[in-house]
Amino acid sequence: MNVTQKSIQALQGLPFDNLIGGPLNACIRAQADAALSTMRFINDVGLNDDGNGNKEAIYVYFSFVQGGRKAVMSVPLLTIVPIPYIAINTIDINFKATITGVESSSLTNELSQEYNQEATKETKTNLILHKRSTNIKTSVSSKRDSKSTRDSSFSIESTIDVAVHASQDSMPAGMAKVLEMLGNSMDLLDPNGELTLNDTEFELEDTTKDKATLIVQYKTPKGEFDTTGKLVTVKAKGSDGKPTGTAITAEPHKSEGTLEYALPYSQYGYVVEANGNEIDVNVTKKKETAPAGSGDAPQG
């Protein structure tokens, strides 16, 4: 196996699923945490719990002078504070693997051979034959050193760079609709509220049986209509012009946000009061009109 094959095999052993999938999963968890943070911000900053599990928008009130009169503006808090909508736009994962290292292997071949050789040598001297035998044992050692050392160097070093780009995301369509409705609920209010009546002068045909129908609408300084009659009192006036006696009980009118009172004849009239606002109401006997032609006839 050559170095290239070993390098490829080493790269295949890297945990790419963790190296790449890990940062992606972390970004997904971070996005989920950001969404929960947004929800907590809306609940903690912009909403109130009425104790029955119902959420109510928190309003802030600004006092100012308009046209020489003091006025109050009610504004939902969620419409004037930035709601955090942090979203991950792009994720850049840069991965780099470097292979360095050492692996060594060597091969040595040795060959040894022996050869036995016998040699005979004859000599003549002074006509006398001398025969001399010599045995020669020769050992030939042939050593072949063939050392082939193959060195390969490799190792694995991996680095990963993760760049996450996040910014304020566009508002969800549902929340944008909610804020639009809250924005439309902004209103200019009177610091004492607004008290309106259907009329202040009533005439009765029969003062012993008939009653005048008084319709009252009172908007509190917070912009809410009094539908229970607890904030509005209707009393008859005495000879001194001051309210006296027991307040008349109201009944809910068919139109939401209004109160209906049945007023009998009163010599001195009535006073309708709500948070410092007072309006006088008179219930009198209808004046009789002379029948047609009852006057003096013209002289001829």
The closest alpha carbon to 276, from 240, 231, 239, 237, belongs to: 231
Q: Domains in the chain and their CATH numbers? A: 3-101+155-188 (no CATH), 109-143 (no CATH), 192-285 (2.60.40.10)
* pLDDT grade for 282, boundaries at 50, 70 and 90: very high
* pLDDT grade for 293, boundaries at 50, 70 and 90: low
Place of tokens 């006088």: 280
- Specify the amino acid at residue 200: T
Q: What is the pLDDT of residue 2?
A: 63
| 133 has a pLDDT exceeding 70 | no
pTM: 0.55
3-state DSSP of 171-232: CCHHHHHHHHHHHHCCEEECCCCEEEECCCEEEECCCCCCCEEEEEEEECCCCCECCCCCCC
* Each residue's pLDDT tens digit, 227-256: 888 899 999 998 888 888 889 988 766 677
The closest alpha carbon to 38, from 170, 182, 180, belongs to: 170
Q: What is the pLDDT of residue 296?
A: 54
* Each residue's pLDDT tens digit, 33-58: 999 999 999 999 899 888 888 888 89
Q: What is the pLDDT of residue 131?
A: 53
Assigned token pair, 126: 């002074």
* Each residue's pLDDT tens digit, 198-219: 999 999 999 889 999 999 999 9
Q: What is the pLDDT of residue 215?
A: 93
Assigned token pair, 283: 């219930």
Mean pLDDT of the chain: 77
DSSP per-residue letters across 84-113: --EEEEEEEEEEEEEE---EEEEEEE----
Let me know: does 225 contact 217? Beta carbons within 8 Å: yes
In angstroms, the CA 146 to CA 123 distance is: 46
In angstroms, the CA 137 to CA 118 distance is: 7
β-bridge mates for residue 243, sequence order: 237
Assigned token pair, 257: 């946000």
| 111 has a pLDDT exceeding 50 | no
| 84 has a pLDDT exceeding 70 | yes
Let me know: does 269 contact 258? Beta carbons within 8 Å: no
Let me know: does 234 contact 216? Beta carbons within 8 Å: yes
The closest alpha carbon to 3, from 120, 152, 175, belongs to: 152
